[in-house]
Structure 1
Amino acid sequence: MDFSFSSSFSLFFLTFWLSSLPRTATARGGERSLDFSGFMEHKLAYYSRKLSEDQQPTIGADVARGYMTNVELEKAVVEFGQRCSHISRIYSIGKSVEGVPLWVIEISDKPGQEEAEPAFKFIGNVHGDEPVGRELLLLLANWLCDNYQKNSLATLIIKNVHLHILPTMNPDGFSLRRRNNANNVDLNRDFPDQFFPLNDDLDSRQPETKAIMSWLKERSFTGSASLHGGALVANYPWDGSQDKRKEYYACPDDKAFQHMASAYSRSHYNMSLSQEFVGGITNGAFWYPIYGGMQDWNYIHAGCFELTLEISDVKWPSADELPVLWEYNRMSMLNLVASLVKTGIHGRIFSSYNGRPLPASITIKGINYTVKAGRSFGDYHRILAPGESYEVMVIMPGYKSKGTHILLEDEAMSVDFVLDPEEEIQMPLQPRSSCNCSCNDNQKLELLKIFGRSYLEISLVFAFILAFLWFLLKRKSIFNLLKHRKLAGQKRPVSV
């Protein structure tokens, strides 16, 4: 998302009296210094956001001072991987237009290994002139490393989630200090759209967009968030509407997304206090519609619940304010990742025939959305709003469907399924031991040698077992005879 509230003030009110007001931290939220009516504030916000798309002011070198360059960011990622190799792995998902690697930090107690655990990804710097996310994501990675086995929340995340952090999706835009990438394309309008045939031509998509799409084909993510600047709100699908009108356009998992967005907003220092967005959250189409966005594409095509997080009222605040922005957003980022294991339903799906995991589909009655279980472990992780009753159904071709009714409370619930085949599966018939006419004499002779040797070995073992049993029987008979003689003349108990 890309709304700049402070930019709108600078454009419209700077000449009147804004310059005389004291400047507060950029993540103001509910602490805005001006008291506009809801209507006027909303109109200005909408106009300002649209204006920021068309007019992209040049960012001066003085404003960029204090932020890591792309070279410094790459160095910080590599150093993190070396320092925290016990809980991390560094890999690249591709390159930008200018050939800058898109580095990802994976954080887990078993990095690089496939586990029956949910995965979450953070993506920063989607727009080149919104760099706060790339700085905060490096701080998040280092905080987790420093607090593993010391802080319960850090330990919970590292042991139970595979966290993937892409600090910058648009390194070229950052270097150019502008919103779009090196080809002057807005990456958050470059994904296939559900309502309009935008970006359907694979060859016309940007390399950064292709990298994200390929990444999600290779890896399954349960949840995700991209970090933006220009407002202070947690945005959730849908981002667009079918008729292009600005209206609340709910996706099938609207309640679950509201819960996710609220989890971030309530943990934030002041996002939930927003006078513009109730509770600090908003439906994207209700704020203003966009098309070709990454958020909706994640949910539709990758089975990933993604939020668009606006974490700073100013797109490119002074680097001096980064420590404050980090403290304001730290608990929100941690709690959002931890919510993957603290809420929702989780489990594994097996076959009753051979006990193997099944990549079955999980559906919820009344919610037109399907989650797929993992192929290796048959594990699934379904984000759902707590405090609701759900009918869960598991479907797998060749197996009988199975369902159950659950009441999901505040904590996560584990529900495993064992599916029965639709028809009784019979073991395949063993091939006859005799060779057909295609076998030659040498093959027959070799088989006879093998089988003859096997029969001889089995016969010897069997003879030894019979001899041992005969010895035991003979010994017992002798023992009973001696005992009978010893007890002669004594009265024995009677069994009825």
Structure 2
Amino acid sequence: MKCSLFLLFISLTFSSVLARGGLSGSATTRLLLEENHSQNSNSVDKAKGYMSNYDLEQAVKQFGRRCSNISRIYSNVIKILHYANGVLDWMISIGKSVNGFPLWVMEISDKPGVEEPEPAFKFIGNVHGDEPVGREITLLLANWICDNHMKDPLAKLIVENVHLHILPSLNPDGFALKRRGNANNIDLNRDFPDQFFPMNNDENARQPETRAIMNWLREIHFTASATLHGGALVANYPWDGTQDQRRNYYGCPDDETFKFLASSYSHSHHNMSLSKEFHEGIINGAFWYPIYGGMQDWNYIHGGCLELTLEISDDKWPNANELPTIWEYNKISMLNLVASVVKNGVHGRIFSSDSGRPIPGSITIKGINYTVKAGRAFADYYRLLAPGKKYEVIASVPGYRSKSTIIWLEEATTLDFILDPEETLEGNLLRSICDCSGGVTTKLVWGYYMEICFVLVIIAFLCFLLKRRTIFTLGKPRQSSKRSVMI
């Protein structure tokens, strides 16, 4: 009896060793006796009913064949840029695992593989090898969109207005080994560069799966994303760490927006918002317990991407017969999260006033220390913001005068900016001759022009007096000639 009580005490003490990993000072008391029992059980039984890596690969390829009109499949391919008929086609190299398994990605869009002025969203599953629910749920999501995009308004909205990228398994080697880390036994959610501590700064020393994600974000400008984990039921948002390594609430500059996104997911979920453990089913990562080298914070800082960490199953490795229920509980939340990139915030494009062409720049919100970059090809931007507030939106491009405007945001708002070039004095003088459209700038330029004209008139008058004096000296015949010119 004493032995049993002792084991129970130890399990409760270490209940913070969760899907996010590591020991923590979490105030939550997650009972993991079932999980610990699962970890000690036969690995074959644990994986029964789940897709193997080979099964996953075949399922992804089958989806690509079945839904080729709205999707494409890519993994370890060479990047190709091809411009034809005004459309830029491209492919991306995302990479392989340590053991060489391709990191397959499904892209869903009405124009898959074509760069458009539309936002991009990504789902990543199976970051931790022993949390496989995301592998299954993301395949179910892709197939549901394929089956319903012609009849369901939300699916249709996503296909026509978003480029959705789904990576079902970031850690296929860890899944095969039935453990948290990859083939090198490295926790991939601790392998990214960290903002507080100098760790993982040598890119060559990072895991291939980590480098694949980082290169992926260099190629595609994702507006938002989410990773799917297991071991709890909560929507987690940045920051994940604190500067002093203590457990306390530490919000990022977009704290209000992240709380809005996390709450939207939680309240769309079957029971996440009813959690007795996490208020409203959401939590700040650092308040839960700090981690360092996490993917979530890196996405926000270096990728310009607002990412949530979604814990979608209390059990890390639930029985496979529970997967349909978990999918139904998360379906609407996942769809709403993807759709949020077009249904919320402010978006638009940046143009030059002199040429009318799109000019890549950046968007900032007064009072929020975070910059969103516009796309390179179309200068399109997508700035997620919590609704019900007033915002001052500022557009900036090097070599152009910044512009700002104030909006009251209730739903998605389209806001295009037309910026004027910053010009030199010579450029202003030249434009004043051919552009008399008025305005303060034109008046200033006209003033400079008049000053120059006045100087030229004085010089001409002095030349006239000098020449007149010369005429009187040379006699009447020359005098008569000059008069005819003067008339």
Residue 222 (str. 1) matches residue 223 (str. 2): yes
Secondary structure of residue in 1 paired with 2:391: strand
Question: What are the equivalent positions in structure 2 for 1:3-42 lying under 5 Å apart?
Answer: 12=8, 42=27
User: Aligned match of 2:50 in 67, 79, 83?
Assistant: 67
Q: CA deviation at 1:355?
A: 0.9
Write the distance in 1 (CA, Å) between the matches of 2:10 and 2:378: 59
User: Relative contact order (C-alpha < 8 Å, sep 6+): which is higher?
Assistant: 1
**Residue 28 of structure 2 contacts residue 277 of structure 2 at CA under 8 Å; is this kept in 1?**
no
Write the distance in 2 (CA, Å) between the matches of 1:247 and 1:301: 23
Match of 1:85 in 2: 68
Deviations, residues 119-172 of structure 1 (Å, cap 9, x unaligned): 000000000000000000000000000001111010000000000000000000
Match of 1:118 in 2: 119
**Residue 391 of structure 2 contacts residue 408 of structure 2 at CA under 8 Å; is this kept in 1?**
yes
Secondary structure of residue in 2 paired with 1:179: coil
TM-aligned CA distance change 1:15 to 1:184, over 3 Å: closer
TM-aligned CA distance change 1:56 to 1:321, over 3 Å: closer
Q: CA deviation at 1:63?
A: 1.5
Deviations, residues 212-263 of structure 1 (Å, cap 9, x unaligned): 0000001100000000000000000000000000000000000000000011
Write the distance in 2 (CA, Å) between the matches of 1:78 and 1:384: 36
Question: What are the equivalent positions in structure 2 for 1:331-410 lying under 5 Å apart?
Answer: 331-409=332-410
Secondary structure of residue in 2 paired with 1:311: strand
- The code of the aligned residue for 2:317 comes to W
Q: CA deviation at 1:15?
A: 11
Write the distance in 2 (CA, Å) between the matches of 1:227 and 1:423: 50
Write the distance in 2 (CA, Å) between the matches of 1:153 and 1:303: 25
Deviations, residues 422-453 of structure 1 (Å, cap 9, x unaligned): 116969x9xxxxxxxxxxxxxxxxxxxxxxxx
Match of 1:31 in 2: none
Secondary structure of residue in 2 paired with 1:102: coil
Runs of 4+ residues deviating >6 angstroms: 13-16
- The code of the aligned residue for 1:375 comes to R
Q: CA deviation at 1:42?
A: 3.1
- The code of the aligned residue for 1:345 comes to V
Secondary structure of residue in 2 paired with 1:285: helix
Secondary structure of residue in 2 paired with 1:95: coil
Residue 295 (str. 1) matches residue 278 (str. 2): no
The normalised TM-score by structure 2 is 0.77
- The code of the aligned residue for 1:158 comes to V
Write the distance in 2 (CA, Å) between the matches of 1:275 and 1:102: 37
Unaligned runs of 5+ in 1: 1-8, 17-39, 430-496
Deviations, residues 164-188 of structure 1 (Å, cap 9, x unaligned): 0000000000000000000000000
Match of 1:32 in 2: none
Match of 1:232 in 2: 233
Write the distance in 2 (CA, Å) between the matches of 1:143 and 1:85: 14
Match of 2:452 in 1: none
Match of 1:276 in 2: 277
The normalised TM-score by structure 1 is 0.76
Match of 1:249 in 2: 250
Q: CA deviation at 1:278?
A: 0.6
TM-aligned CA distance change 1:303 to 1:11, over 3 Å: farther
Match of 1:175 in 2: 176
Q: Percent identity?
A: 69
The CA RMSD over aligned residues, in Å, is 2.4
**Residue 59 of structure 1 contacts residue 178 of structure 1 at CA under 8 Å; is this kept in 2?**
no
Write the distance in 1 (CA, Å) between the matches of 2:10 and 2:417: 62
